[in-house]
Amino acid sequence: MLFALSTAVAQRVNVCYISSPMTKVQRAAKALIDKHKGLRAAARATGLDPGYLSRLRNKGKNNPGQEVMTILGIERRITYHRTIE
């Protein structure tokens, strides 16, 4: 399980900060639904379950797999920041 920490917390506990791509997932899901002019049409076109696509759009689902991210046209990038003391 991954935990996203704020930059301030990451610096205090001296761990790497993992940025969350969820806002990009939400925007990509919304763009896909808008492109197909509806949730069910987008689900049919992509082969995704309409309920799952809805949860992606509404942030109910926050960790899609690589295959789903490819369907949405985005990729996961994890950024590590060095903390200097």
Per-residue pLDDT of the chain (85 residues; tens, 9 = 90+): 444 545 555 455 554 444 444 578 899 999 999 999 999 999 999 999 999 999 999 888 878 889 999 999 998 888 888 888 7
Q: Is residue 7 part of a domain?
A: no
56 within domain boundaries: yes
**Residue 82: which H helix or E strand, with range?**
none
Residue 59 lies in a domain: yes
Answer whether 29's CB lies under 8 Å from 72's CB.
yes
pTM (two decimals): 0.64
For residue 84, give its domain range: 21-85
The answer to whether residue 77 is domain-embedded is: yes
49 located within any domain: yes
What residue type is 24 in one-letter code? K
DSSP string, 2-58: -----HHHHHHHT-------HHHHHHHHHHHHHHTTSHHHHHHHHT--HHHHHHHHT
CA distance 72 to 18: 21
